[in-house]
Chains A and B, each alone.
Chain A
Amino acid sequence: MKNANPLWKFFCSVKLTIVLLLSLAITSIIGTVIPQNESPDAYLHAYGAFRYQLLSTLGIFDMYHSWWFQGLLLLLTINIVVCSIDRLSGSWKLIFTRSPKVRPERFTKRSDARTLTDKRGAEELVSVYEPIVARRYGYCKVTRSNDGAVIYGEKGRLSRLGVYIVHLSVILLLIGGLAGSFFGFEGYVNIAEGEATDTIRIRDTGQIHRLDFQIRCDDFSLTLYETGAPKEYRSALTILEGGQAVKQKDIIVNDPLRYRGINIFQSSYGKLQPEKMPGPETPVAGPAEAYTLNFTSRASGMSYTVSAKVGVPVDIPEGLGKFVVMAYEAETTFRGMDVGAALKGILTPKEGEPVEVLLPLKFANFDKMRGGDVMIAIANQPQEKFTPQQSSEDRYYTGLQVTNDPGVWLVYTGFILMIAGCFVAFYLSHQQVCIVIEQLRKNSRVTFAGTTNRNKLAMKNTVEKIFTALTES
């Protein structure tokens, strides 16, 4: 810590790192318990006005983008940068030196240093020991002096950079995330089959965003497994530029279309709203107490006119059963088609179960479709012929997620560096060994020790192995 600046000191502390990491862990829980980014109505309903105000002011409803959460991330970033600079500047020379300085006393004074004596002279021992060290350590240097020699070996010096690579990767992730949120967008659009559009809606703000090209949905298909679970959502899309098709692709959930930096994903689908029945509007009588109904027997072809009060069952001629008008409804639909005002009634045939019958006021022949023994119609109404539109295939729209994220390559680079950095930092170590040979009068004294910055247990075994090799050589 060369710099005495108190702010620098503050950000240099690993205590701060621990406090920030734990704060991030604890506060992150909030957003998993309270649903994020829902409508104010939903929150008001769930929390009441006062608590809604309070939580809303604290940004709890979009907490991962709130000033205080982003503030914690910013503090962590500064913390990482300052710590890394501070530590790296201290060990820079150690890591990037071409010829490391050897201080034999660093090794000989270690409590786990091993010694042996050998009858051979120093020079002879160097020639025996050097290959043993050189075989295991990429860097091996022999320094000779009047009273002996020092053999120094080391490897994995660059592994000290692992932790800085991890820290750099975190910074890249944060920058990439920021770049994405400032310069990218995340939108969605629903396109009906056969239609094209160039406008999408931004997810968070609801703003309209115009693309440089049009997306056309040629077809949407949904396939199901036999169990009824969805198997595949597939949209056939065409990209149009100036009316010209420039790209065509079927997209499914895990296989998006990418065009000019914009990604189009299959995200949802739906059925189109039933369309209104075409045809002229005919005035329709409102609700009444009683209606005049025509009953036509299929067996005889005879038609009978009967007046029926709402709620009172009437007998159908020819002994075909009973019918009761239940209610008048101003808006009714039939198989997704709007058929306007209608009576609803219940027909109880002489044999069989009662059935519900729908009698649209403007279509005299409507009940014929039912194919029953008796056809019921409302008399004295201006009438049209009902031609059922066979909606053989439902029309779908496809829901697309449309995104552009210029920060993604930064994030992916961060991912790769993070994995690589973690591996280096966890599993590689900077190992150093040193053999000091002292030439005595009749023999030589050999002191051997090793050190590592990580995984001391494994190093102990290595030192043991090398020492055995030295004694046996």
Chain B
Amino acid sequence: MSSSPLLSISTFVFALAAFFYMAALIFKKPRLTLPARWTVVAAVVATTAGLLLRWVESYQMGIGHAPLSNLYESLVFFAWTAGVIYLYVEFKYKNALIGAFVTPIAFLAMAYASMSPNISDRIQPLVPALKSNWLIAHVATCFFGYAAFAIAFGLSIMYLIKARKPDRIEGIIGHLPKLDVLDELTHRMVLFGFLFLTGGIITGAVWANSAWGSYWSWDPKETWSLITWFVYATLLHARLMRGWEGKQIAYLSILGFSAVLFTYFGVNLLPGLHSYGKV
């Protein structure tokens, strides 16, 4: 099997996982989270295989490079990292319903990658600027950061829903994790994301310095990643030094993730050096 149908299959497996989690939440059937978890595992395995196969295929085509070089590949990789980090969180914090807010994000990324008519899933050769060992380090760190921020975003949405009626024990709201757990988890995810975003910006700067002779040139993508960094730095200082928590942090985390989305997609509408991120 080639990578392309495999990745299409994993899109549907992510959809199935999202469906299980949503069903568990909406119909109050916690038992459904068990098949949901194994479906996420299956989706991650299929995506891993798809990405590795794509890597191999690119070598067979004589233009070998890591599958991290254009919008399609980055979206698939994003879904993969979100799946991996989510599985870790579920394993560590034993709370499955978070999946109802995370797996849909992973599914949307995969679906957007495979179904948007503007995104080509062809394996393309690398342009000269991308031929560097920094490609993997830069893209991988950035996307681990993005995925952690996406999960923090999902948790923040859950927090805001839960915070409307925190004491209710029945219904969907009653099934959501407790507020302090959501708050703590959001914080953990933001810390992880911030560390990796910092790493992503730094590897990008070092790479830029070795390719263009300047580690920082205020190109829109660079600037937007810095804006994202500023927003999350604000969140961390507000929480650790000013004692912000709960809703305030949830709103900042949502603001931060919108900056992430703009860094990822919106910047392509602006002129700049990162044009290979375009479709």
Contacts and interface: CB of A to CB of B under 8 A. Distances in A.
Contacts of A32: 220, 223-224, 267, 270
Given A230-B128, A253-B128, A419-B199, A457 B209 contact: no
B87 to A, nearest CB: 20
A36 B271 CA distance: 10
A266 B131 CA distance: 13
Contacts of A426: 191-192, 194-195
A229 B125 contact: yes
Contact of B127 (A15, A230, A267): A230
B128 A408 contact: no
B91 interface: no
A266 B210 CA distance: 10
Contact of B227 (A29, A35, A422): A29
Nearest to A87: B241
A102 interface: no
A254 interface: yes
A137 interface: no
Contact of A423 (B124, B195, B206, B227): B195
A232 interface: yes
Interface string A253-279: 111100000010111000000000000
B262 to A, nearest CB: 9
A388 to B, nearest CB: 34
Contacts of A252: 128, 131
Contacts of B127: 229-230
Measured as residues with beta carbon below 8 angstroms from the partner, the interface class of chain A is: 35 or more
A341 interface: no
A408 B215 contact: yes
B167 interface: no
B98 to A, nearest CB: 16
Interface stretch (A20-28, A122-130, A342-350, A464-472): A20-28
A22 B230 contact: yes
A186 interface: yes
Contacts of B205: 411, 415
Interface in A410-454: 411-412, 415, 418-419, 422-423, 426-427
B279 to A, nearest CB: 15
A255 B131 CA distance: 10
Contacts of B230: 21-22, 24-25, 28
Contacts of A415: 202, 205-206
Contacts of A457: 184
B130 to A, nearest CB: 8
Interface in A151-182: 177
Interface stretch (B21-29, B77-85, B104-112, B231-239): B231-239
SS of B interface (majority): helix
Contacts of A64: 218, 223
Contacts of B134: 254
* Range, interface on chain B: 35 or more
A57 interface: no
Interface string B122-136: 001101110110100
A9 interface: no
Interface in A214-239: 225, 227, 229-233
B144 to A, nearest CB: 13
A426 B206 CA distance: 23
Nearest to B219: A32
Contacts of A265: 211-213
Contacts of B224: 32
A211 to B, nearest CB: 14
A17 B202 contact: no
Interface in B180-223: 184, 191-192, 194-195, 198-199, 202, 205-206, 209-216, 218, 220, 223
A25 B63 contact: no
Contact of B218 (A24, A31, A230): A31
Given A15-B242, A21-B230, A422-B194, A267 B212 contact: yes
A24 to B, nearest CB: 5
A403 interface: yes
B198 A18 contact: no
Given A25-B234, A33-B270, A225 B125 contact: yes
Interface in A114-148: none
B38 to A, nearest CB: 27
B49 interface: no
A227 B125 contact: yes
Contacts of B9: none
Contacts of B132: 254
A231 B210 contact: no
Nearest to B267: A32
A24 B233 CA distance: 11
A414 to B, nearest CB: 9
Contacts of B45: none
Interface string B81-95: 000000000000000
B237 A225 contact: no
B32 interface: no
Contact of A17 (B195, B237, B271): B237
Given A21-B237, A28-B227, A31-B223, A256 B213 contact: yes
A256 B210 contact: yes
A254 B223 contact: no
B160 interface: no
Contacts of B124: 227, 229
A246 interface: no
B258 to A, nearest CB: 12
B182 to A, nearest CB: 13
Interface in B40-91: 63
A126 B149 CA distance: 47
A14 interface: yes
Contacts of B234: 18, 21-22, 25
Given A28-B227, A254-B128, A408-B215, A419 B210 contact: no
Contacts of B129: 253-254
B214 A186 contact: yes
A420 to B, nearest CB: 11
Contacts of A419: 195, 198-199, 202
14 contacts: A14-B237, A18-B234, A25-B227, A28-B223, A35-B271, A186-B213, A229-B124, A229-B125, A254-B128, A256-B210, A415-B202, A422-B194, A422-B198, A426-B192
Give the 4 A-B CB pairs with smallest separation, nearest first. Answer: A25-B230, A253-B128, A32-B220, A14-B241
Given A18-B238, A28-B227, A186-B213, 4 more contacts: A29-B227, A230-B127, A233-B128, A254-B134
